[in-house]
């Protein structure tokens, strides 16, 4: 929570500003709301390559910013609709839908012009300076793949 003589920024306000920036596709503003080494974990995200697996774990600056930019490029009408936001002094839980229409490939998913909209659960931690220092997110990756027409068979 950031406090000055004139304002107090709550964890809920910081996270609300984050989702507002996300809806504007302003990845720089999203990143600026986070601490320099904010933890980032998109639990279901992974892309299998021939010799490695890329997972959605790291920091906001190294993994989060790249994933957000890629999503916005692949889904130019990407949106989030926040349904609930529950917060205490430092922890914020958000339920929302994220969706859009795919225009270019996203990882292994070829663009077919299909839309997706999938419920997400986000867990944020906001430090004492009013900066997000942890983001975790969960969703049904199979649901997104199905909506985009991407069915994998091993």
- Between 84 and 45, residue with greater pLDDT: 84
Cα distances (angstroms) measured from residue 36 to each of 20, 93, 108, 129 = 20, 21, 30, 12
Q: What percent of the chain has pLDDT over 90?
A: 80
**DSSP secondary structure letter of residue 26:** -
Q: What is the pLDDT of residues 60-97, one digit of tens each?
A: 999 999 999 999 999 999 999 999 999 999 999 999 99
Q: What is the pLDDT of residues 1-29, one digit of tens each?
A: 554 434 458 999 999 999 999 999 999 99
pTM, two decimals, is 0.90
Average pLDDT, the chain: 91
Strand locations in 50-131, DSSP E? 53-59, 79-87, 91-101, 115-126
The answer to whether 43 and 138 have CB atoms below 8 angstroms apart is yes
**DSSP secondary structure letter of residue 33:** T
């Amino acid at each position: 929570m950031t406090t000055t003589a004139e304002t107090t920024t709550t964890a809920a306000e910081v996270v609300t500003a984050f989702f507002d920036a996300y809806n504007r596709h302003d990845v720089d503003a999203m990143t600026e709301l986070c601490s320099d080494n904010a933890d980032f974990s998109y639990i279901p995200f992974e892309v299998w390559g021939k010799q490695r697996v890329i997972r959605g774990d790291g920091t906001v600056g190294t993994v989060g910013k790249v994933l957000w930019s890629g999503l916005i490029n692949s889904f130019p009408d990407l949106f989030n609709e926040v349904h609930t936001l529950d917060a205490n002094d430092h922890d914020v839980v958000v339920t929302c839908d994220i969706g859009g229409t795919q225009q270019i490939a996203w990882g292994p998913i070829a663009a077919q012009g299909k839309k997706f909209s999938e419920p997400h659960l986000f867990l944020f931690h906001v430090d004492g300076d009013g900066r997000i220092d942890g983001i975790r997110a969960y969703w049904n990756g199979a649901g997104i793949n199905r909506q985009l027409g991407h069915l994998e068979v091993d």
